[in-house]
Amino acid sequence: MTILALGLALAVLAGLTVMQLLLIGGRPLGEYAWGGQHRVATPRLRQAAVVAVVLYAGFALLLLSRAGVLHGGDTTAITAATWVLFAYCASSIALNAISRSRRERIVQTPVSMLLALDVLVIAINGPGA
Q: What is the pLDDT of residues 30-78, one digit of tens each?
A: 888 888 788 898 999 999 999 999 999 999 999 999 999 999 999 999 9
Q: What is the pLDDT of residues 93-105, one digit of tens each?
A: 999 999 999 999 9
What's residue 129's pLDDT? 58
Average pLDDT over the chain reads 94
Judged against a pLDDT cut of 80, whether residue 128 lies above it is answered with no
CB count, 10 Å around CB of 63?
A: 27
DSSP 6-47: HHHHHHHHHHHHHHHHHHHTT-S-GGGSGGG--SS--HHHHH
